[in-house]
Chains A and B, each alone.
Chain A
Amino acid sequence: MEIYRSHVLVCGGTGCTSANSLKIMEEFERLLAENGLEKEVKVVKTGCFGLCARGPVVVVYPEGAMYTMVKVEDVKEIVEEHLLKGRLVRRLLAGSEEAEDAAKALEGLDFFRKQLRIALRNCGVINPENIDEYIARDGYKALGKVLTEMTPQEVIDTLKKSGLRGRGGAGFLTGLKWEFAAKSQDDQKYVCCNADEGDPGAFMDRSILEGDPHSVLEAMAIAGYAIGANQGYIYVRAEYPIAVKRLNMAIQQAREYGLLGKNIFGTGFDFDIELRLGAGAFVCGEETALMTSIEGRRGEPRPRPPFPAVKGLWQKPTILNNVETYANIPMIFLKGPEWFAGIGTEKSKGTKVFAVGGKINNTGLVEIPMGTTLREVIYDIGGGIPNGKKFKAAQTGGPSGGCIPASHIDTPIDYESLVQLGSMMGSGGLIVMDEDTCMVDIAKFFLEFTVDESCGKCPPCRIGTKRMLEILEKITSGKGEEADIEKLEILAKNIKASALCGLGQTAPNPVLSTLRYFRDEYIAHVKDKKCPAGVCKAFMKYVVMAEKCKSCGICARNCPVGAISGQKGQPYVIDSDKCIKCGVCFEKCPFKAIVKEA
């Protein structure tokens, strides 16, 4: 094995890749060769480090120096200063620039200090395209242990003892799910992985697949052994090309090593995995729809019971877990269920990965122990709200979830507390909203998504969510009446009760939770005809302040609809009937003479 004195880890996740990290890698390789360092320094493409807001990210070991927002032009400096002369490039260093060494710099970074990375343990650490790196980090050791030392029932018992719950939605106990499938008698069973991550702004599963695909393969093989299945399917979005590529490489390498296929570890256990690419329908993340799609039919949910553990894929007993759930599993077998159960809260064990986005400084991917408060996530890990704005609410659970208002910012994040607040864990999207956010508009945004993604099978979702959206559009366009709020509530309640699948049943949640915490905003829209956050265009108008106007005419020249008129020496006037409220005049006026009036 070749020994290198330094390793340069370049993030190859989707975010950093889009920010040109692959060019940065090439530049490193080119400059290292130019300086004759290619035998001393190795460049590794890794998965996501989590600090996406500051990508592209490059980490240099052994110092552990994390350079952020690196540009191709910066590579020369890192090579010459850090790799040749051993001096940190402090201007690019994440954390405190004054820290005495790189490790100290990172320690000072709350973003990492409060995290506990179990599911993401290998992301940003190993090269996901090389199975040896996974094995070097104890990869496939759990599978070996399971196959050679444990009975299927012991596997299930261990998982139950760990308290691991599904990370994809409702939080069902994973061990129990496996037990149901294990008890179903059939000649064929299946293990499926839900990698059809579709919540707006969520990319937990993508990052795991891109950064550590083998952890998912290993866990699926363990699942196959536990329930008696020899075939697995990973249903992954075709829009995740890097994840798909790395999964394919990982499956190929695992097969070559005998870790997938026939007679694994010489135990007589056979297990193989195939990929199925989803075309991007949100509903295919629902378990029965996902299986219907794998079967090659229109991805639509079917009623349960029968549950997949009894009749799933091709009517055979099937378990389906999501990517993050699987990624936790090898660690549970390596470190023991007690270790895992010792992390988190009474009913929610372990950690949860969140994709944090919206009005927050450190947009990115974080993994926190269950029970961490929302405040810690937003202010410590997330670095707070930009521009000193006030925190208003956080949205969790995607379009099926709800909003948690500022008054509950100290709630510990676990399955039960989120549900109690009218939201849910979901797969782990966390969108932070500041005081400039209109909650009716937010509800409308999520409803638009649901209406777009409804499969159309049952009327409550197909027509009901559409009607809810129409009412929200009416309210945000200033035409709402008080009775509309009542109609929203009737629809929400009944869609929740009678829709066919989990997506339909949870589709009204964004409306219900905003009505619960921000009802006054709805009332302001329908009664006072005002949008308190100043977001809904219908309620505001642009006005020229006569005393500030210098009659330059810039506003009139830039107005796309000719709504502004005036002449030299006199203040210009905006015709609010013609104005489309695009805000161009507001931006272009050099004298700040145009104001928004709510």
Chain B
Amino acid sequence: MMEMVNITIDSKKIQVPKDYTVLEAARHANIKIPTLCFLKGINEIGACRMCVVEVEGARSLQAACVYPVSEGLVVRTNTPAVREARKVTLELILSNHDRSCLTCVRNRNCELQKLAEELNIEGIRFEGEMKKQPLDDFSPSIVRDPNKCILCRRCVSMCKNVQTVAVIDTMDRGFDTSVKCAFDFSLGEVPCTNCGQCINVCPVGALREKDSTHVVWKALADKELHVVAQTAPAVRVALGEEFGMPIGTRVTGKMAAALKRLGFSKVFDTDTAADLTILEEGTELIERLNNGGKLPLITSCSPGWIKFCEHNYPDLLDNLSSCKSPHEMFGAVLKSYYAEKMGIDPSKIFVVSIMPCTAKKFEARRPELASTGYPDVDAVLTTRELAAMIKEAGIEFDKLPDEQFDDPMGPASGAGVIFGATGGVMEAALRTVAEILSGKSLDRVEYEEVRGLEGIKEATVEIGGMKIKAAVAHGLGNARKILDRVRSGEGQYHFIEIMACPGGCINGGGQPIQPSEVRSWTNVPAARARAIYEEDKDLPIRKSHENPAVKMLYSEYFGQPGSHKAHELLHTHYARRENYPVKN
């Protein structure tokens, strides 16, 4: 039983748990305190001073987001002094902010803009010098606009504390303070993993993905090109948020319909390639288990994780599965098997991946991912970019009918769908490996022990008389923990799933941005994951090796998983990357 304390907020007497902050207590009492830098669990530093309140006995105003409650505490959240202080602070922030709201990527989804409206800002009394700094758009994934940055430091906390990547931090001081990479490098020149989590926590338009909509619009307009879309599993459970739907709404059919209306010749499901990945990776695992290969085998679907490994754990590169990530596999299949089958010149096929991910933009440009002589994937759109294109095209998303993915590459299995949530690749692999190793069809489909949002999950699964020690980590901070255990020998595993983003792809850096007001109090990844697992449950086929399209691919083209041809098209290799200076 949690110990409670009695406090008074705005003359309302309430009882709250003693580990609450004033902000949490006020929420409990249905009193709204504005916040800006605050992001629960990630950035609780009391820096922005928007949430100041009067605390009886304190000399100055206190930040509600970090002020702990205590017995008898008396707080006032709505006094002339408090309102004036908040307004002055907000006007000061606005006075040094590039206020080109109408053309900003975050127009109408900006926490600063919303605050200005809520605090009834009528003008900016304290205009003065504005810092002008160059745009950093050298990274293939992320664009930084320091002139929009309000120094809330959420991105810094995310990058440093959650992801333990720490390529950005505050530099200089006073009015010259800015969030930067070391030595004034660009994000493209440092060991950034391109995970894009910084974008998802940015309250304003200071961070965004590198735009690919223009190149896709251009391709769609090109009559010579056969433009194909493929969509990652996590996109279908988040895209609806961009159109005002509740978090966790499944819009698979509407998404397929929208893509067709945008003019894509074919709309495929990357999940089919996820099934293909399971067969290749599962075979790799069994082979390593049987032949004394390098263990643990670590998954390779998450390009943010791969780059993190290349920079920070180059000694473990041989542990990585050589499988390309699913959309890259798909791209290679489209430009080989599909091109042959349909009689299309692969140079005329333009593959667009719709991904919850910003790191995939970097991944698509890796020179080794061009098995057919052409890049496996030509352009990567984030979920947000797809939503922007749908809006720009005037498609009324919520009124679209549900449509199917196109043949011959769909539909996928439920195993392919759950790739989108942390633990999903592990579970999908176990579903297949268990049947291959035991040589029979099993009733067990769900592996609850690898689901959920705990940072590191461990499970020992008995299949075919073998005890497989599995571990799942999501978020690079957790990845670092588990890899350190592997390095030290303390963690003995056969198979590890690692996803760069906390929660897995459903919470990827390309997903719809939920403001702190929502993120701090709602478990967004959990709601999206729930939708993913529902989708899995609703599908008739739930095991990758039972996907008819995959079976067809092997029988018509690749022969066996792990065949020479499969290696040519579906596998890749990795190399150590320097940290500073970096050559990406």
Interface residue ranges, A against B (CB under 8 Å): 281, 283, 298, 302-303, 305-306, 451-460, 462-467, 470, 487, 490-491, 494, 496-500, 505
| Interface check B81, CB cutoff 8 A | yes
Q: How far is the CA of A499 from the CA of B85 in the complex (A)?
A: 10
Q: How far is the CB of A120 from chain B (nearest CB, A)?
A: 31
| Interface check B61, CB cutoff 8 A | yes
Q: How far is the CA of A466 from the CA of B169 in the complex (A)?
A: 22
Return the CB mask of B53-96 against A: 1 if under 8 Å, else 0.
00000011111001110000000000001001110110011011
| Interface check B52, CB cutoff 8 A | yes
Q: Which residue of B lies closest to A452 (CB)?
A: B174
Q: Which of A283, A306, A462, A500 meets B63, CB within 8 Å?
A: A500
Q: How far is the CA of A470 from the CA of B151 in the complex (A)?
A: 21
User: B89, A470: Cβ atoms under 8 Å?
Assistant: no
Enumerate chain A residues within 8 angstroms of B68, measured Cβ to Cβ. 305-306
User: B126, A487: Cβ atoms under 8 Å?
Assistant: yes
Q: Which of B59, B61, B96 meets A463, CB within 8 Å?
A: B96
Enumerate chain A residues within 8 angstroms of B93, measured Cβ to Cβ. 459, 463
Q: Which of A305, A456, A494 meets B177, CB within 8 Å?
A: A456
Q: Which of A281, A464, A500 meets B173, CB within 8 Å?
A: A281
Enumerate chain B residues within 8 angstroms of A496, measured Cβ to Cβ. 60
Q: How far is the CA of A180 from the CA of B541 in the complex (A)?
A: 65
Q: How far is the CA of A131 from the CA of B118 in the complex (A)?
A: 65
User: A463, B125: Cβ atoms under 8 Å?
Assistant: no
Q: Which residue of B lies closest to A281 (CB)?
A: B173
Q: Which residue of A lies closest to B96 (CB)?
A: A463
Q: Which residue of A lies closest to B70 (CB)?
A: A305
Enumerate chain A residues within 8 angstroms of B49, measured Cβ to Cβ. 458-460, 498-500
Q: How far is the CA of A456 from the CA of B67 in the complex (A)?
A: 21
User: B88, A494: Cβ atoms under 8 Å?
Assistant: yes
| Interface check B566, CB cutoff 8 A | no
Q: How far is the CB of A68 from chain B (nearest CB, A)?
A: 41
Given contacts A464-B92, A494-B89, contact A302 B177 (CB under 8 A): no
Given contacts A459-B48, A494-B85, A498-B52, contact A487 B125 (CB under 8 A): yes
User: B96, A455: Cβ atoms under 8 Å?
Assistant: no
A-B contact pairs, 22 of them (CB 8 A): A283-B173, A302-B45, A303-B62, A452-B174, A456-B151, A457-B45, A458-B48, A458-B49, A459-B150, A462-B174, A462-B177, A464-B88, A465-B174, A466-B129, A467-B128, A487-B126, A490-B125, A491-B126, A497-B60, A497-B61, A499-B49, A505-B59
Which 8 A-B pairs have CB atoms at the shortest separation, nearest pair first?
Answer: A456-B177, A454-B174, A303-B46, A494-B88, A463-B92, A498-B85, A467-B126, A466-B175
Q: How far is the CB of A542 from chain B (nearest CB, A)?
A: 31
Q: Which of B63, B88, B129 meets A491, CB within 8 Å?
A: B88
Q: Which of B47, B59, B60, B92 meets A467, CB within 8 Å?
A: B92
Q: Which residue of B lies closest to A454 (CB)?
A: B174
Q: How far is the CB of B132 from chain A (nearest CB, A)?
A: 15
User: A494, B67: Cβ atoms under 8 Å?
Assistant: no
Q: Which residue of A lies closest to B81 (CB)?
A: A497
Q: How far is the CA of A470 from the CA of B130 in the complex (A)?
A: 12
| Interface check B172, CB cutoff 8 A | yes
Q: Which of B47, B59, B169, B176 meets A500, CB within 8 Å?
A: B47
Residues of chain B from 174 to 214 with CB closer than 8 A to chain A in the complex: 174-177
Q: How far is the CA of A302 from the CA of B81 in the complex (A)?
A: 23
User: B175, A500: Cβ atoms under 8 Å?
Assistant: no
| Interface check B170, CB cutoff 8 A | yes
Q: How far is the CB of B316 from chain A (nearest CB, A)?
A: 28
User: A456, B63: Cβ atoms under 8 Å?
Assistant: no
Given contacts A491-B88, A499-B49, contact A456 B173 (CB under 8 A): yes
Q: How far is the CA of A454 from the CA of B177 in the complex (A)?
A: 9
Interface residue ranges, B against A (CB under 8 Å): 45-49, 52, 59-63, 66-68, 81, 84-86, 88-89, 92-93, 95-96, 125-126, 128-129, 150-151, 169-170, 172-177
A interface secondary structure, majority: helix
User: A466, B174: Cβ atoms under 8 Å?
Assistant: yes
Enumerate chain A residues within 8 angstroms of B150, measured Cβ to Cβ. 459
Q: Which of B45, B89, B169, B173 meets A460, CB within 8 Å?
A: B89
Q: How far is the CA of A466 from the CA of B175 in the complex (A)?
A: 7
Q: A487-B126, A490-B125 are in contact. List 6 more A-B contacts (CB 8 A).
A: A452-B174, A455-B174, A456-B170, A460-B49, A463-B175, A494-B88
User: B89, A298: Cβ atoms under 8 Å?
Assistant: no
Q: How far is the CB of B410 from chain A (nearest CB, A)?
A: 51
Q: How far is the CA of A368 from the CA of B93 in the complex (A)?
A: 45
Q: Which residue of A lies closest to B173 (CB)?
A: A456
Q: How far is the CA of A464 from the CA of B85 in the complex (A)?
A: 11
Enumerate chain B residues within 8 angstroms of A467, measured Cβ to Cβ. 92, 95, 126, 128
Enumerate chain B residues within 8 angstroms of A303, measured Cβ to Cβ. 45-46, 62-63, 66-67
Given contacts A459-B49, A491-B88, A500-B49, contact A298 B67 (CB under 8 A): no
Q: How far is the CA of A491 from the CA of B46 in the complex (A)?
A: 20
From A455, A462, A465, residue with most partner B Cβ within 10 Å: A462
User: B173, A463: Cβ atoms under 8 Å?
Assistant: no
Enumerate chain B residues within 8 angstroms of A497, measured Cβ to Cβ. 52, 60-61, 81, 85
From A281, A457, A487, A491, residue with most partner B Cβ within 10 Å: A457
User: A459, B176: Cβ atoms under 8 Å?
Assistant: no
Q: How far is the CA of A496 from the CA of B49 in the complex (A)?
A: 12
Given contacts A302-B45, A458-B47, A470-B128, contact A498 B173 (CB under 8 A): no
Enumerate chain A residues within 8 angstroms of B52, measured Cβ to Cβ. 497-498
Enumerate chain B residues within 8 angstroms of A462, measured Cβ to Cβ. 151, 174-175, 177
Enumerate chain B residues within 8 angstroms of A500, measured Cβ to Cβ. 46-47, 49, 63
Q: How far is the CA of A427 from the CA of B88 in the complex (A)?
A: 30
Q: How far is the CB of B64 from chain A (nearest CB, A)?
A: 11
Enumerate chain B residues within 8 angstroms of A302, measured Cβ to Cβ. 45-46
User: A498, B175: Cβ atoms under 8 Å?
Assistant: no
Q: Which residue of A lies closest to B66 (CB)?
A: A303
Enumerate chain A residues within 8 angstroms of B92, measured Cβ to Cβ. 459-460, 463-464, 467
Q: Which of A305, A453, A470, A491 meets B174, CB within 8 Å?
A: A453
User: B173, A454: Cβ atoms under 8 Å?
Assistant: yes
User: A305, B85: Cβ atoms under 8 Å?
Assistant: no
Q: How far is the CB of A302 from chain B (nearest CB, A)?
A: 7
Enumerate chain B residues within 8 angstroms of A464, measured Cβ to Cβ. 88-89, 92, 126
Q: How far is the CB of A511 from chain B (nearest CB, A)?
A: 14
From B49, B66, B96, B169, residue with most partner A Cβ within 10 Å: B49
Enumerate chain B residues within 8 angstroms of A452, measured Cβ to Cβ. 174
Q: How far is the CA of A519 from the CA of B260 in the complex (A)?
A: 71
Q: How far is the CB of A338 from chain B (nearest CB, A)?
A: 32
Q: How far is the CA of A185 from the CA of B48 in the complex (A)?
A: 32
Q: Which residue of A lies closest to B50 (CB)?
A: A459
User: B95, A456: Cβ atoms under 8 Å?
Assistant: no
Enumerate chain A residues within 8 angstroms of B170, measured Cβ to Cβ. 298, 456-457
Q: How far is the CA of A451 from the CA of B176 in the complex (A)?
A: 10
User: A470, B173: Cβ atoms under 8 Å?
Assistant: no
Enumerate chain A residues within 8 angstroms of B95, measured Cβ to Cβ. 463, 467
Enumerate chain A residues within 8 angstroms of B173, measured Cβ to Cβ. 281, 283, 453-456
Q: How far is the CA of A490 from the CA of B84 in the complex (A)?
A: 9
From A305, A453, A463, A498, residue with most partner B Cβ within 10 Å: A463
Q: How far is the CB of A52 from chain B (nearest CB, A)?
A: 31
Q: How far is the CA of A384 from the CA of B191 in the complex (A)?
A: 62
Enumerate chain B residues within 8 angstroms of A454, measured Cβ to Cβ. 173-175
Q: How far is the CB of B129 from chain A (nearest CB, A)?
A: 7
Enumerate chain B residues within 8 angstroms of A494, measured Cβ to Cβ. 84-85, 88-89
User: B175, A456: Cβ atoms under 8 Å?
Assistant: yes
Enumerate chain A residues within 8 angstroms of B129, measured Cβ to Cβ. 466, 470
Q: How far is the CA of A305 from the CA of B86 in the complex (A)?
A: 21
Enumerate chain A residues within 8 angstroms of B66, measured Cβ to Cβ. 303
Enumerate chain A residues within 8 angstroms of B59, measured Cβ to Cβ. 505
Q: Which of B60, B128, B176 meets A498, CB within 8 Å?
A: B60
User: B125, A451: Cβ atoms under 8 Å?
Assistant: no
Q: Which of B60, B128, B176 meets A456, CB within 8 Å?
A: B176
Q: How far is the CB of B180 from chain A (nearest CB, A)?
A: 12
Q: How far is the CB of A185 from chain B (nearest CB, A)?
A: 17
